[in-house]
Structure 1
Amino acid sequence: MKKGNSFLLTDGLVYQGGQLHRLDILVQDGRISALGENLDKLSPAGVKKYDASRKLVSPGLVDVHVHYRDPGFTYKETVKTGAQAAAHGGFTTVCAMPNVDPVPDTPERLQKMIKKNHEDGCVHIKQYAATTQDRTSDKVNDLSGLKRAGAFAFSNDGNGIQNAETMYQAMKAAAALKMPIVEHIEDDSLKKNGVMNAGRYAVELGLPGMPGLSESSQLARDLLLAQETGVHYHACHLSTRESVALVRLAKEHHINVTCEVTPHHLLLADQDIPADDGFYKMNPPLRSTADCAALFEGLLDGTIDMIATDHAPHAASEKMGGMCHASFGITGSETAFALLYTRFVKTQRMSLEQLLDLMSIKPAKCFGMNDAGALFPGKPADLAVFDLEHEYVLQEERYFSLGKNTPFTGTKVYGQTCMTFVAGELVYKKED
């Protein structure tokens, strides 16, 4: 990525310091040099100007949970296309999961992935390393060596760690390194080979159901282990009301836990699945309306710390043939902000400030990303410009991701990304 550009962004509605202000932003050598009114006077002669009037200017969004399938599954997504999709959605920092082939479970493999992320990505890509060997075994990796090699955090995402002793040893090692354990919470013995949420709607569609207990029971175990070890434990993609209650209780007991929720688990319930359609197959599955309500309440009261997309692209053929045959996963990088803004901010269920906090400031703060998630002088010029006034339609042909697997295509939304800047470089601009 080339960096070091200078420009003046004028008259935007800027989210800065937890509030919205009408401001100019002066960027010099890829960093914010000033925020204020009428910055023309401070700008160097001939500096490029971008008119942001009637637009929202946000810190670049931060997504702590994406899948880029590279190496090993590049027919689904590559680092390049995944990063382009992120920029299209207003994200400037993303964190890539390790369920690729080969798995980044050695320092050498991890360094190779980090190098490729830097070379091919137009946004900042932080790389998870696998917690255990091959991401599915019970042998904890050399976490110290992986940290030195540049690991962002440790995760086996895509699989839950089934053995409690393995998780306990991993947590102790990560705690000693002051590194987070980021967990896909799932007890395989309770999954029942389910492809959607267990309950009435699974019965009506004639599909095997996955009970919420497969998530909440594993979470309860992990929270007790986190309490014992003191590790920063981050729970991925909460989906049940029981999970929200467990995290709330853990925080009351000062356990060092953070957690995320996805847009799709906030926006859809199992009753919204119209048919045996692989586009609605994701893990964890879409739960009940009561679960959706609990997740939203958890966001508003601070139990849930952030929104993360779990962007999981697949080839078209892998989402066909009904839920029993389709792969788990849904894309999200290019649709998340617009869908959430339209559903929750436009309807006044959430403020714009709250949404931006959950998608930029809080994920950066929870994971100690000091250069992401906020707009202040001296910080890298990572920012996104959104049009909140004009309705548009989510269209498959406009996606940059190789994966088109989202049931939200065709939805009318507000909040289209107009421009995304990474360290002062314009990495996405909406076509006029």
Structure 2
Amino acid sequence: MSAYLITNVSVVGGPPTDLLIRDGVVAEVADDLSAPDATVVDGTGLVALPGLVDLHTHLREPGREDAETVESGSRAAALGGYTAVCAMANTSPVADTAGVVEQVWRLGREAGLVDVQPIGAVTVGLAGERLAELGAMADSAARVRIFSDDGHCVADPKLMRRALEYVKAFDGIIAQHAEEPRLTEGAQMHEGEVSTRLGLIGWPAVAEEAIIARDVLLAEHVGSRLHVCHVSTAGSVEVLRQAKARGVRVTAEVTPHHLLLTDERAETYDPVFKVNPPLRTAADIAALRAALADGVIDIIATDHAPHAVEDKECEWAYARPGMLGLETALSIALDVLGPEWDLIAERMSRTPARIAGLTGHGVDPAPGVPANLTVVDPAARRTIEPAELASRSRNTPYARMTLPGRIVATFLRGEPTVLDGKAVK
């Protein structure tokens, strides 16, 4: 295997040092290292982090390869500093059987750019009527441990209870898209002052908060693990805070766009800003940022949702919700949190890897650990040009925005997937 020597690099914000990668692991971290056979990467001014881990990625394959493939999404992830992503189940066919999750897992291995861990559907066809083959997916080669109907709420409380009970047997997790569907019928954006002014049907915050409150009670009753996807409201934060104080086994994520963008973006009627859950208010953003800092919200997850042109560049009412996120997530985290490297590593690598049970990921660069890491230039600023993104889709809300930070290199088990800011393959 190849050897790489990254010189004068800061490891998770620490003092500059040298980092030697050899045979798939971090061989040494020390000053003034020498390795004549190694390719040298000048790390002056750069920061080495454990490879980022995304718990919420839509790769669209099988079924919508016009929007994304496992390979193109994996490349976007590597360019964003990720070494592992969890692929959501809302493909076509739905990833609700062992056969489909194994297909996604194998496509990830063939691409070889990041580790792709499939997430299985909770219910057959995401229909919310009967449980999918949870045990078969858990026992498959993909070894699925997280199950979600993301894009659809498991609205039936009896079915949700059964799912939580079922996965408890193998310490699995139910990841809930918290949306009471009877409160959001026809909704187009956040319910509030802006939706009233624009005359668009609103998506009330309580539709999210009510499901989270119900599900933390169910998880507490069953003693099982619950993960709440894309938390977006201040009220949800308080429900989670109370649940965690009682010791409920609940974790939660927030997306980069819910940390930065408000519902006022809908005033342009540009469908790129249509997302589910919708963009909320400045007060919600402030609460989400505070919860991320104090750990009530455990992780940042991208909810990377690529869409083909015809599904996004149309009238607002007909546009599908979702935004790209993999190639810009770290930049948004830097913009929101500043260069708090230990916090960024915790929220974007260590904790998501721990939740997903991804051994070898989310470990700070140190002698003997797998060389899954990313190297960042925090001083760089880049303007986001949609045509230059690796994703097959172009629905980024950050088009032509100038954001901080640039991924210089990403390594997966010691082999570079990105060098000098460019994909290796």
Q: Which runs of 5+ in 2 are unaligned?
A: none
Shift of 1:292: 0.8
For the 8 Å contact 1:20–1:353, the answer to whether it is kept is no
The equivalent residue for 1:363 is 352
The equivalent residue for 2:395 is 405
3-state SS of paired residue (1:388): strand
What RMSD, in angstroms, separates the aligned Cα atoms of the two structures?
Answer: 1.5
Equivalent residue in structure 1 for 2:102, among 108, 111, 116: 111
The equivalent residue for 1:96 is 87
The equivalent residue for 2:37 is 46
The equivalent residue for 1:138 is 129
Shift of 1:185: 0.9
The equivalent residue for 2:7 is 10
1:413 alignment partner AA: L
Q: Is it true that 1:384 corresponds to 2:374 in the alignment?
A: yes
Q: Is it true that 1:23 corresponds to 2:17 in the alignment?
A: yes
Shift of 1:336: 1.0
For the 8 Å contact 1:195–1:208, the answer to whether it is kept is yes
For the 8 Å contact 1:183–1:234, the answer to whether it is kept is yes
The equivalent residue for 1:209 is 202
The equivalent residue for 2:290 is 297
Shift of 1:203: 1.7
Q: Is it true that 1:191 corresponds to 2:146 in the alignment?
A: no
3-state SS of paired residue (1:389): strand
Q: Is it true that 1:171 corresponds to 2:161 in the alignment?
A: no
2:202 alignment partner AA: G
For the 8 Å contact 1:419–1:426, the answer to whether it is kept is yes
Counterpart Cα distance in 1 of 2:391 and 2:103 = 22
Counterpart Cα distance in 2 of 1:133 and 1:376 = 43
3-state SS of paired residue (1:20): coil
Counterpart Cα distance in 1 of 2:139 and 2:220 = 26
For the 8 Å contact 2:407–2:421, the answer to whether it is kept is no
Counterpart Cα distance in 2 of 1:188 and 1:121 = 38
Shift of 1:184: 0.9
Counterpart Cα distance in 2 of 1:325 and 1:144 = 37
Equivalent residue in structure 1 for 2:407, among 393, 398, 417: 417
Structure 1 stretch displaced more, 385-394 or 124-133: 385-394
Distance 1:67 1:322, change over 3 A: same
Equivalent residue in structure 2 for 1:262, among 255, 260, 272: 255
3-state SS of paired residue (1:10): strand
Counterpart Cα distance in 1 of 2:96 and 2:421 = 41
For the 8 Å contact 1:186–1:215, the answer to whether it is kept is yes
Counterpart Cα distance in 1 of 2:217 and 2:315 = 38
CA offsets per residue over residues 33-75 of structure 1, 9 Å max, x none?
11111221xx3x4222211111111111111100000000110
Shift of 1:361: 1.5
For the 8 Å contact 2:265–2:273, the answer to whether it is kept is no
CA offsets per residue over residues 232-284 of structure 1, 9 Å max, x none?
10000000111100000000000000000000001011124341110110000
Equivalent residue in structure 2 for 1:232, among 219, 225, 238: 225
For the 8 Å contact 2:128–2:156, the answer to whether it is kept is no
The equivalent residue for 2:241 is 248
3-state SS of paired residue (2:318): coil
Normalised by the size of structure 2, how large is the TM-score? 0.95
The equivalent residue for 1:60 is 51
Q: Percent identity?
A: 35
Counterpart Cα distance in 2 of 1:46 and 1:376 = 20
CA offsets per residue over residues 384-407 of structure 1, 9 Å max, x none?
111111222111122000111122
Q: Is it true that 1:181 corresponds to 2:174 in the alignment?
A: yes
Counterpart Cα distance in 2 of 1:194 and 1:430 = 44
The equivalent residue for 1:394 is 384
1:426 alignment partner AA: P
Alignment of 1:260-339 (within 5 A): 260-339=253-332
1:11 alignment partner AA: N
Normalised by the size of structure 1, how large is the TM-score? 0.94
Q: Where in structure 1 do 4 or more consecutive aligned residues deviate above 6 Å?
A: none
For the 8 Å contact 1:386–1:415, the answer to whether it is kept is yes
CA offsets per residue over residues 112-138 of structure 1, 9 Å max, x none?
221122112411111111111112232
Counterpart Cα distance in 2 of 1:408 and 1:179 = 35
Q: Alignment length, in residue pairs?
A: 419
For the 8 Å contact 2:266–2:274, the answer to whether it is kept is no
Structure 1 stretch displaced more, 51-60 or 279-288: 51-60
Q: Is it true that 1:35 corresponds to 2:32 in the alignment?
A: no
The equivalent residue for 1:74 is 65
Counterpart Cα distance in 2 of 1:416 and 1:83 = 18
Shift of 1:431: 5.6
3-state SS of paired residue (1:327): coil
Counterpart Cα distance in 2 of 1:430 and 1:7 = 13
3-state SS of paired residue (1:113): helix
3-state SS of paired residue (1:227): helix
3-state SS of paired residue (2:15): strand
Q: Which runs of 5+ in 1 are unaligned?
A: none
1:397 alignment partner AA: A
For the 8 Å contact 1:79–1:121, the answer to whether it is kept is no
For the 8 Å contact 1:205–1:275, the answer to whether it is kept is no
2:82 alignment partner AA: F
Counterpart Cα distance in 1 of 2:94 and 2:366 = 37
Shift of 1:5: 2.7
For the 8 Å contact 1:192–1:209, the answer to whether it is kept is no
Q: Is it true that 1:429 corresponds to 2:419 in the alignment?
A: yes
